[in-house]
Structure 1
Amino acid sequence: MPFAKENPVHSLIAGTTAGAVEAFITYPTEFVKTRSQFGGKRLAPIEIIRQTLKTKGVTGLYSGCSALVIGNSAKAGVRFVSYDHFKSMLADSEGKVSAPRSLVAGLGAGMMEAIFAVTPSETIKTKLIDDANRPNPQYRGLVHGTLSIVRQEGMLGIYRGLFPVMMRQGANSAVRFTTYSTLKQFVQGTARPGQTLPSAITFGIGAIAGLVTVYTTMPLDVVKTRMQSLEARSQYRNSFHCAYRIFTEEGIRRFWTGTTPRLARLVMSGGIVFTVYENIIKLLNPGSS
């Protein structure tokens, strides 16, 4: 399995650090993905980058970045602590966790991160990106934007899209952890007993896990983005109504809009997060494998 039972504090430190590093490095791809999923004219990723650089400069590609870095840090911390907890609960008498049980542990971890970290940060990030694309942006930054959203919509305003976020994060973590766990177990089975996997191998396994995650969960991500946009309240009654309108008005292919930038991000994300996490765990607990 990907991790031995860890000290929760170690998991939290390693997870939050890995999440922050990954979010900052990959943010431009998240910006492009989110922009491409809003309604209206479809734009290719390269065109979104070109227009943003022309009108906003390089900093435009980092609109809403602080919200995601903070949220991603919290998300990764919650994810790894939750996963280790659920995995230990589901382990058999020999301490092993089968692939189906790993799937359940990942699903539970995803639900926890959606509730406690992802939904608020993703909602704020999405609204900041949507607002930054307007001729006269109303939000002056993360703090002002967050306070404005809460003032205008209440606390429920930053929990808009909770259901699709829970579905997406649950599916994300279930698929990612199970893929990573299965591949790592296979690779370790071909290595010498007690041999530690090199960081390059860990990165590669994590990248493959990210690739699988993207294509299986993309529709949930598109619905999540639409439900968190500034126009969501006036256009969609709920997540199911949103999905129905996308399907009937824009076609099934729209559910995979933003796949390229999200693929770029999650492939890098999978590699970065698992590599940083495991290396920090090794520093904090030299005896871990």
Structure 2
Amino acid sequence: MPADSSTSQSTLSSIKSTADALVKPGETELVRWRRTFDKFATVEKDGKKYLNESEFIDAIAPTDEGFNRINREQYGVLFRVAARRSSNLVSFEDFVVFETQPFQPDADYQLAFSVFDVDDSGAIDFEEFKSVLQENIASSGIPFNFDCDWIKLYLGKRGAKHVLGYSEFTQLIKGFQGERLRQAFHYFDKDGDGYINPDEFQRIIIELAGHKLSDSVLQRLPTLTTMNPGRKISYSEVIAFHNIIRDMDTVEALITRAVRKSKDGRIDVSDFLNEAASSMRYSQFTPMEANIIWHFASRGEAGHGAGQRLTLNDFQSLLDAKWQPPSNSSIEGIEKIGFVEQLGRSTWSFIQGGIAGGIGAFTVYPIDLVKTRLQNQRSNVVGEVLYRNWLDCVKKVYANEGGIRAFYRGVLPQLVGVAPEKAIKITVNELVRKKATDPETGRISLPWELIAGGAAGACQVSVTNPLEIVKIRLQMAGEMARADPGNAAPRGALHVIKQLGIFGLYKGAVACLWRDVPFSMIYFTAYAHLKKDIFLEGLRGKQLSFGELLLAAGIAGMPAAYLTTPADVIKTRLQSQARAGQTVYKGFFDGFRKILQEEGVKALYKGGIARVIRSSPQFGVTLAVYEVLSKHFPYPLATSEIKVVAGARPTHASHTDISRIRARNGLRILLDCSSQFGMVSPEEAAKRVQSLPKALRA
């Protein structure tokens, strides 16, 4: 036996003996394994519970796999590894042995090794290796010569018996697919001219990589012959395609990076090769490999491969083994969404926007009151300055106006009005963005992003201006009462509305437009780019957490809030009830001019920090809550599914634990030998049933 095999055998024996003795790998893990075992185990024997094959598969197979690329039956290979000591049943001790392995860094290869190590000796002799492979590749009809020079290079010899140690096995099994591919091509290349037929190429790839490619790509494999004159496929093309499959993760990473760098969300072959050249140090993709990628990404259309500029969505059928083309029924369903459903969806979004806006407004309302007080005090009149800074303002409001309740004066009309305000803002921005977004790339140009935000800000003024003038009058009521004790009776929102009248409610509307339009242009654009470029939303199906959404929305609000402070100061002055001796402003531009003349530029940024502190978290909470509501509470009466980009890779909703990932990866190593590995023939299935205890055969 080779020297390294003794080490590997010792390692495997150590794992098994540790688990057999139930030396706890950690109470938390042991409890979790016991819970999983008890959840699925139904077979009882001699007072103990056991897992049968179906139950074992349910316990260890990835829950998000769907069994559409890896057949559920194939996980039975791993069951036979776990059940060797218990005659087709898995005890809890066996289950712990199996679950202990995934915590090893090379667990996937150890699982594959265990499949071939039939006698549990810690080494694999030639006959074991040959018999296991023959059993699993025979159904393909493509023979493999086990007496080839390639096998002899890997297998050492001792006592006239071939022996594979664990480390040798890992290298052999990794390279086996390449030798299998070479022999399969030679088998079909009867005349030795270096070409095979398209259907023969399809048979080879389905046998060796059927689990790695979508049905769409597998069906179109014969179209590879259209890339060159003639009706046959060369060995160079077969090897190039195999290299793409082998390095699919790298292909996906390069395409994704190149698309993100592209201005229009599209790339061609030269963009891909340039990205590969700048990112890869010691290997490269050949022009043939790149052209093959483009051939299948462009749906195999003759003459429309390498020269096409493709979107990330175009590559999904090649990159994602579970990709499915959009069905006609789903497309028709989108087209047939009626007026009633469209109205229902808009109303539902409007309600969610209102709820989110109310939560955001209530969260930061005390900060908004302080900001309003600071902006409204005039610094050009002696004795006019009531508050030295925001902290002084907080102390005086709390001490002189009724404690905590004073900070929420005017909050009720704010909450009533903020629902339509935020709903309009979010709805209009999303509507314009969707209309301006390229359905193929999912991209929207910067000018259209700014237009969408500006439109949202302009539309909200119809609600914002009346809401804010009432809010400001109520927020200033305490200060007015202190200045004029004889008129200290509290006045509510209805009194303010009657006092102002319909036209008075829109006093300062121009200033409100000058504030809200630029704010929304900056805010929504920054928010979208922070999510995409900084937090990498959508990259490899990534969905942002609530914390990431909150952070992105909060950061986007900072420049938007501070840069629009001058317009907010002028609006506050216009909408406040001026007291005796204070300068009266005739309008936005008159206010701008007089503030500059009387108080200087600094006055235009009064309350700027408070505005950042208020606006940033408010819009952060609002948008984060809205996106969470949209995600977890979609329109309940939907009759059609709306897809932004058809056919895009679905994201996994649930996290798959490491043991299930390792089990899947161990099986994938075996499937690289044959995509039918572990599939049971009817004869073998009957034989296994007969080996079960009589009580279980039914």
Give TM-score, length-normalised by structure 2. Answer: 0.38
Q: Distance in 2 between matches of 1:159 and 1:138?
A: 25
Answering whether residue 629 of structure 2 is matched by residue 247 of structure 1, we say no
Q: Which has the higher contact order (CA 8 A, sep 6+)?
A: 1
Tell me how far 1:261 sits from its aligned partner: 1.6
Equivalent in 604, 607, 611 of residue 262 of structure 1: 611
Deviations 1:262-287 (A, max 9, x none): 11112211320111000000122298
Tell me the residue number matched to 1:3: none
Pairing 1:42-191 to 2, within 5 Å after superposition: 42=385, 43=387, 44-56=389-401, 57-92=403-438, 94=440, 95-115=442-462, 117-135=463-481, 136-137=487-488, 139-147=490-498, 149-150=499-500, 154-187=501-534, 189=536
Aligned to 1:226: 573
Query: How far did residue 98 of structure 1 move?
Result: 1.8
Deviations 1:188-242 (A, max 9, x none): 5476422211111111101110111122111111011011011299711111111
Q: Distance in 2 between matches of 1:114 and 1:68?
A: 14
Taking structure 1 as reference, are residues 225 and 192 closer, same or farther at Cα in structure 2, changes over 3 Å only? same
Question: How many Å apart are 1:93 and its aligned residue?
Answer: 5.1
8 Å CA contact 1:67, 1:122 repeated in 2: no
Runs of 4+ aligned residues of structure 1 deviating over 4 Å after TM superposition are: 286-289
Match of 1:14 in 2: 352
Instruction: Find out whether 1:236 has 2:585 as its counterpart.
Output: yes
Q: 1:281 to 1:190 in 2, by over 3 A?
A: closer
Instruction: Give, in angstroms, the shift of residue 158 of structure 1.
Output: 0.9
User: For the residues of structure 2 that align with 1:175 and 1:11, how far apart are their CA atoms?
Assistant: 23
Q: Measured at CA, do residues 157 and 234 of structure 1 come closer, stay the same or move farther in structure 2, by a change above 3 Å?
A: farther
Using the alignment, how far apart are the partners of 1:202 and 1:63 within structure 2?
30
**Aligned pair partner of 2:563 in 213, 216, 227:** 216
Amino acid aligned to 1:212: P
Deviation string for 1:8-27 (max 9, x for gaps)?
22321221011100111100
Gaps of 5+ in 1: 1-5
Question: What is the rounded CA distance, in whole Å, between the counterparts of 2:611 and 2:539 in structure 1?
Answer: 35
Name the CA distance, whole Å, in 1 between partners of 2:599 and 2:416: 33
Deviates more, 1:212-221 or 1:185-194: 185-194
Query: Which whole-Å CA distance do the structure 1 matches of 2:444 and 2:539 have between them?
Result: 21
1:276–1:93 CA distance, 2 compared to 1 (3 A): closer
C-alpha distance in 2 between matches for 1:63 and 1:267: 21
Identity of aligned residues (%): 27
Distance 1:108 1:138 in 2: 41
Paired letter, 2:496: G
For residues 170 and 234 of structure 1, what CA distance do their matches in structure 2 show? 27
Range that drifts further, 50-59 or 65-74: 65-74
AA aligned opposite 1:145: V
Q: In the alignment, is the contact (CA less than 8 A) between 1:208 and 1:270 conserved in 2? A: no
Indicate if the aligned counterparts of 1:126 and 1:229 stay in contact, CA closer than 8 A: yes
**Equivalent residue pairs, number:** 279
Matched, 1:23 2:366: no
Matched with 2:270 is none
Once superposed, what is the RMSD of the aligned Cα atoms? 2.2
2:630 to 271, 281, 287: 281
Mapped contact 1:131–1:138 kept (Cα < 8 A): no
Alpha-carbon distance between aligned partners in 1 of 2:612 and 2:536, rounded to the nearest angstrom: 28
Deviations 1:155-197 (A, max 9, x none): 1111110001012111111111000011111145476422211
Residues 10 and 281, structure 1, Cα contact 8 Å, conserved in 2: no
Distance 2:539 2:555 in 1: 23
TM-score by length of 1: 0.89
2:543 is equivalent to residue 205 of structure 1: no
Deviates more, 1:24-33 or 1:56-65: 56-65
How far off its partner does 1:118 sit? Answer: 0.3
Instruction: Give the Cα–Cα distance (whole angstroms) in 1 for the partners of residues 634 and 457 of structure 2.
Output: 25
Structure 2: runs of 5+ lacking an equivalent: 1-341, 379-383, 482-486, 636-640, 644-650, 652-698
- Larger mean CA deviation between 233-242 and 44-53 belongs to 233-242
1:211–1:263 CA contact under 8 A, matched in 2: yes
Which stretch shows the higher mean deviation, 39-48 or 176-185? 39-48
